[in-house]
């Protein structure tokens, strides 16, 4: 059996169970606000989606009891956090840490896919477009969230902070060490 | 339109090889391209018979053309390529290496394995002496129309893949040898048992490809019966028929009937399929969404 | 002389990552059918190209623009525009495959350096020298069908620089001469810049068994825990006669890291890394590794141990045709 590459931390089961009681509506609203913020600061991300910029994506952190449905909606994104499998053109499933690592450019999507840490279902082209667009955007969740203020930021900050502490995955874009 | 017989793509024993060209002498075809296209290791088995085949066909009034190899890498293969123009017949270039050995101004033809996708490439080859070009089989009808018109302006006859398992890829690696656990250099001619290539099936046991040494072909036999009129209207000069181990002369006859109007597309397709129940046809490269598609009902 | 590392960038972010990781040269393409990695969400618009090239030049790196599909009859202007725009964006060279386009570039952009793409399958010195005489090409990317001694023999017979693939996805067929994808999906590397395209891929997970179909043909099944290659036709699973398995090639990727000293001795100018479809994280890791390797080779030091297996398809690698037994 091939080794998992790189080692992806799993979200611990106990807190994941506790999260089942988490109210999802505020999280959906907050994440929509967050996604719109990203849309504003990274318009290129949505341009890169090309013909897939109205597709509905299901992001499924397999170690958490909910899925995140993302609709880029041509640059005015909507996010819905829900229990159950969710419905969309493409589904990208994997441990939360893998999904976050992809966003930060800490992991390579193909490598995660080859090792089956990441599963893609449905419209593979849409999923690829999203992955490539996100990879180019060089997002830094911590920075984006720190810049958010008001009550909408609180639920995300709590979730991300929690994830960071429990999984040990850095949610800040790793510095590129280069031969400068 | 004319009918051209392409080079035999498979490895046949010498007698079967020679018998094909004896048979073609009386078949209703205009041009015959012969020689080794796929693998230089096969050539010694029938090389000595080539002059006889050339003269038999020429005496029968056919235009005879000698093909180059499809992929030239080894020193021995470059020498073979250099010797082609010395055979005294027209050369069909299936690898651009051949151009380096054709004396400037020598007329030549271009086979389907050279990438001629557009007018500029066609014009450049015409400038070098190309008088006939068989287009790459994956080209859609829309491109064929444009290139046939460009060819007419430049005095280059345009040919289109008309019938046969279509070459999809060529490699440095021999898949027949690999399958038998051998390397290419020690292949022991593993491909000789499959006179029409070895069927390759998917994991659902669906017929898909055919293995032929270093070459990979389609499982389906490409047939342009349903596009023949459109090709003629576009000004295409000839259809290329690719030899197969059984009933090939009959197939040549069927396409001739189609061209002269004594047979229609549906009945010709049915007759071809009727010769072997395992024959599947396709014409998707010309008019379908993908190469494997077939516009007929059978 | 240190061998040149030529590395891929599918996005401006990957280009910057590659430059920072020490790449000497980056290759990339416009976001359309003019390049052979025309994948969703990838490649550069004109502004991104201009800015990317400026960034690379500022840091002393070069940028090559791949315009290496075969122009469609009736629409050649799209490809001609790409060559003109590459020049005006400041590209150090264009990588071309089509004879007609090479001819156009030689006539209309004589000052723009021309490289012959691997898609042209120029596999011997005769053909390479023909391209040099006819189109003034300065470098050829050699097809992945040659052994190291054959590459050395080519270099002995030509003045044209040679560039060879050392890492990444591996075509087992002669590039630019393969219609497998076109046959199964209608999308062709030569015409559309896409091989086994994602929109024709279907994955189906049944109780942990992951089936992959391309254009409706099932070409791979991975048992639970088995690694899952992307369903590229030439690396699919098939049956023929009484055999079944990866009849053309295993889902491996090329890693010729250990052959760098031999390739240098064979007269190779540049080492190319495949993977414009891979992430900036992949690009940075691979570039760092290969930069260290060529620097070591130049200093006569042993090759550093590779750490790149995890980035490889199927997580195993091959030296490909560079070793003759591969054939």
Mean pLDDT, range C47-53, rounded to an integer? 97
Q: Quote the crossing angle between the two packed helices C46-58 and C76-89, to the nearest 10°.
A: 30
pLDDT at C315: 53
Q: Has residue C133 got a pLDDT over 50?
A: yes
Mean pLDDT rounded to a whole number for chain B: 96
Q: Kind of pairing, strands B238-241 and B2-5? A: parallel
Q: Is B59 among the domain residues?
A: yes
Mean pLDDT, range B183-205, rounded to an integer? 93
Least Cα separation, residue A88 to chain C (angstroms): 15
* Distance of alpha carbon A76 from the chain centroid: 17
pLDDT at A107: 80
pLDDT > 70 in chain B, percent = 100
pLDDT grade for A177, boundaries at 50, 70 and 90? very low
- Nearest-Cα residue of chain A relative to residue C225: A1
Least confident of A146-155, B63-72, B100-109, B239-248: A146-155
**CATH number assigned to the domain comprising residue B72:** 3.20.20.70
Q: Is B190 among the domain residues?
A: no
C 146-205 residues inside an 8 A Cβ radius of B: 146, 150, 153, 172-174, 176-180, 182-186, 188, 190-191
| A36 CB burial (10 A radius; 0-12, 13-18, 19+) | middle
Q: Has residue B298 got a pLDDT over 60?
A: no
Contact criterion met (CB < 8 Å) for B124 and C239: no
In chain C, which residues have their Cβ closer than 8 Å to the Cβ of A137?
13
Q: Highest-confidence range of A73-77, C12-16, C208-212, C319-323, by mean pLDDT?
A: C12-16
Contact criterion met (CB < 8 Å) for A114 and C315: yes
C26 CB contacts (<8 Å, ≥6 apart)?
C6, C7, C8, C9, C15, C18, C19, C52, C56, C61, C62, C63, C64
pLDDT at A2: 33
pLDDT at A3: 33
In chain C, which residues have their Cβ closer than 8 Å to the Cβ of A119?
203, 205, 210
User: Total domain count for chain B?
Assistant: 1
Q: Is B157 among the domain residues?
A: yes
Q: Has residue C229 got a pLDDT over 60?
A: yes
The DSSP bridge partners found for residue C245 are C238
* Distance of alpha carbon A42 from the chain centroid: 15
Question: Where do the DSSP E strands lie in chain C?
Answer: 4-8, 25-28, 62-67, 93-96, 114-116, 139-141, 161-168, 201-206, 209-214, 217-222, 238-240, 243-245, 253-255, 270-273, 317-318
| More reliable by pLDDT, C149 or A178 | C149
Mind giving me the DSSP string for C245-263?
E-SS--S-EEE-GGGHHHH
Q: Is B198 among the domain residues?
A: no
Q: Is B152 among the domain residues?
A: yes
Give pLDDT tens digits for B84-123: 998 889 999 999 999 999 998 899 999 999 999 999 999 9
Domains of chain C in start order, with CATH, are 4-170+252-326 (3.20.20.70), 192-245 (no CATH)
pLDDT grade for A144, boundaries at 50, 70 and 90? confident
Least confident of B183-187, C45-49, C107-111, C137-141: B183-187
pLDDT grade for B186, boundaries at 50, 70 and 90? confident
Backbone angles phi, psi at C116, to 5 degrees: -95, 125
pLDDT > 70 in chain C, percent = 96
Q: Has residue A180 got a pLDDT over 60?
A: no
Q: Has residue A154 got a pLDDT over 90?
A: no
Q: Has residue A1 got a pLDDT over 50?
A: no
| C123 CB burial (10 A radius; 0-12, 13-18, 19+) | buried
In chain B, which residues have their Cβ closer than 8 Å to the Cβ of C234?
169
pLDDT at B47: 93
For residues C34 and C20, give the distance between their C-alpha atoms in angstroms, rounded to a whole number.
27
Q: Has residue B13 got a pLDDT over 70?
A: yes
pLDDT at A98: 87
Least confident of A120-129, A130-139, A160-169: A160-169
Give pLDDT tens digits for C240-254: 999 999 999 888 888
pLDDT grade for A171, boundaries at 50, 70 and 90? low
pTM of the predicted model as reported, rounded to 2 decimal places: 0.93
pLDDT at C281: 87
pLDDT at A173: 62
Contact by Cβ (8 Å): B9, B167: yes
Contact criterion met (CB < 8 Å) for C41 and A128: yes
Mean pLDDT rounded to a whole number for chain C: 92
Domain of B156, in residue numbers: 2-166+219-287
Tell me whether B127 touches chain C (CB under 8 Å).
no
pLDDT > 90 in chain C, percent = 70
Q: Is B235 among the domain residues?
A: yes
Give pLDDT tens digits for C258-305: 899 999 999 999 999 999 888 898 899 999 999 999 999 889 888 776
Least Cα separation, residue C229 to chain A (angstroms): 5
Mean pLDDT, range C219-247, rounded to an integer? 89
Domains of chain A in start order, with CATH, are 21-166 (3.30.1050.10)
């Amino acid at each position: 059996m091939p080794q998992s590459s790189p080692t992806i931390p799993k979200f611990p089961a106990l807190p994941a169970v506790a999260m089942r009681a988490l109210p999802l509506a505020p999280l959906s609203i907050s994440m929509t606000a967050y996604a719109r913020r990203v849309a504003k600061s990274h318009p290129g991300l949505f341009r890169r989606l090309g013909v897939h910029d109205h597709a509905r994506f299901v992001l499924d952190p397999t170690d958490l009891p909910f899925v995140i449905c993302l609709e880029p909606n041509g640059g005015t994104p909507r996010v819905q956090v829900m229990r159950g499998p969710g419905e969309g053109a493409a589904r990208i499933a994997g441990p939360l840490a893998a999904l976050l690592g992809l966003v930060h450019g800490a992991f390579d999507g193909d490598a995660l896919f080859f090792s089956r840490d990441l599963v893609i279902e449905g419209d593979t082209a849409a999923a690829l477009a999203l992955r490539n667009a996100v990879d180019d955007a060089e997002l830094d969740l911590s920075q984006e969230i720190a810049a958010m203020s008001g009550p909408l930021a609180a639920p995300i900050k709590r979730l991300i902070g929690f994830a960071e502490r429990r999984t040990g995955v850095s949610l800040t874009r790793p510095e590129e060490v280069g031969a400068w | 339109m004319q009918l051209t017989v392409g080079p035999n793509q498979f490895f046949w024993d010498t007698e079967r090889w020679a018998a094909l060209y004896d048979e073609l002498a009386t078949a209703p075809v205009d041009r015959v391209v012969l020689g080794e296209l796929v693998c230089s290791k096969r050539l010694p088995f029938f090389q000595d018979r080539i002059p006889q085949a050339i003269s038999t066909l020429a005496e029968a009034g056919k235009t005879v053309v000698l093909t180059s190899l499809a992929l030239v890498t080894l020193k021995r293969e470059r020498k073979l390529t250099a010797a082609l123009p010395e055979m005294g017949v027209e050369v069909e270039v299936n690898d651009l290496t051949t151009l380096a050995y054709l004396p400037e101004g020598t007329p030549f033809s271009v086979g389907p394995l050279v990438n001629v996708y557009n007018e500029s490439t066609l014009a450049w080859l015409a400038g070098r002496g190309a008088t006939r070009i068989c287009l790459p089989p994956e080209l859609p009808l829309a491109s064929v129309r444009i290139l046939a018109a460009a060819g007419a302006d430049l005095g280059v006859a345009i040919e289109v893949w008309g019938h046969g398992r279509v070459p999809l890829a060529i490699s440095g690696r021999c898949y027949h040898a690999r399958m038998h656990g051998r390397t290419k250099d020690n292949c022991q001619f593993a491909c000789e048992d499959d006179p029409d290539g070895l069927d390759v099936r998917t994991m659902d046991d669906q017929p898909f490809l055919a293995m032929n040494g270093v070459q990979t072909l389609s499982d389906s036999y490409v047939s342009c019966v349903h596009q023949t009129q459109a090709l003629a209207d576009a000004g295409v000069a000839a259809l290329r028929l690719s030899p197969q181990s059984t009933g090939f002369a009959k197939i040549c006859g069927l396409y001739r009937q189609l061209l002269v109007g004594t047979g229609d597309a549906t009945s010709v397709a049915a007759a071809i399929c009727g010769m072997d129940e395992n024959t599947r046809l396709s014409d998707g490269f010309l008019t379908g969404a993908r190469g494997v598609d077939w516009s007929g009902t059978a | 002389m240190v061998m040149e590392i030529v590395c891929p960038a599918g996005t401006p972010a990957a280009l910057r990552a590659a430059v920072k990781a020490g790449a000497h040269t980056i290759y990339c393409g416009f976001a359309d059918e003019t390049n052979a990695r025309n994948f969703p969400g990838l490649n550069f618009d004109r502004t991104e190209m201009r800015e990317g090239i400026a960034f690379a030049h500022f840091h002393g790196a070069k940028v090559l623009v791949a315009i290496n599909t075969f122009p469609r009859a009736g629409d050649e202007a799209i490809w001609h525009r790409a060559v003109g725009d590459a020049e005006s964006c400041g590209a150090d060279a264009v990588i071309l495959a089509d004879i007609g386009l090479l001819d156009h570039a030689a006539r209309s952009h004589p000052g723009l350096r021309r490289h012959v793409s691997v898609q042209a399958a120029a596999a011997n010195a005769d053909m390479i020298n023909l391209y040099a005489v006819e189109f003034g090409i300065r470098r050829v990317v050699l097809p992945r069908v040659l052994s190291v001694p054959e590459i050395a023999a080519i270099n002995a017979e030509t003045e044209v620089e040679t560039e060879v693939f050392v890492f990444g996805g591996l075509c087992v067929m002669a590039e630019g001469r393969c219609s497998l994808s076109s046959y199964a999906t209608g999308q062709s590397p030569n015409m559309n810049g896409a091989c086994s395209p994602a929109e024709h891929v279907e994955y189906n997970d049944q109780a942990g068994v992951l089936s992959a179909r391309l254009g409706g043909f099932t070409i791979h099944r991975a048992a639970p825990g088995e690694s899952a290659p992307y369903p590229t036709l030439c690396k699919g699973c098939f049956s023929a006669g009484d055999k079944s398995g990866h009849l053309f090639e295993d889902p491996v990727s090329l890693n010729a890291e250990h052959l760098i000293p031999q390739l240098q001795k064979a007269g190779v100018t540049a080492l190319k890394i495949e993977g414009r479809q891979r992430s900036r994280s992949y690009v940075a890791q691979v570039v760092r590794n290969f930069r260290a390797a060529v620097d070591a080779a130049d200093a006569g030091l042993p090759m550093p141990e590779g750490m790149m297996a995890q980035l490889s398809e199927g997580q195993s690698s091959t030296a490909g045709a560079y070793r003759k037994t591969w054939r």
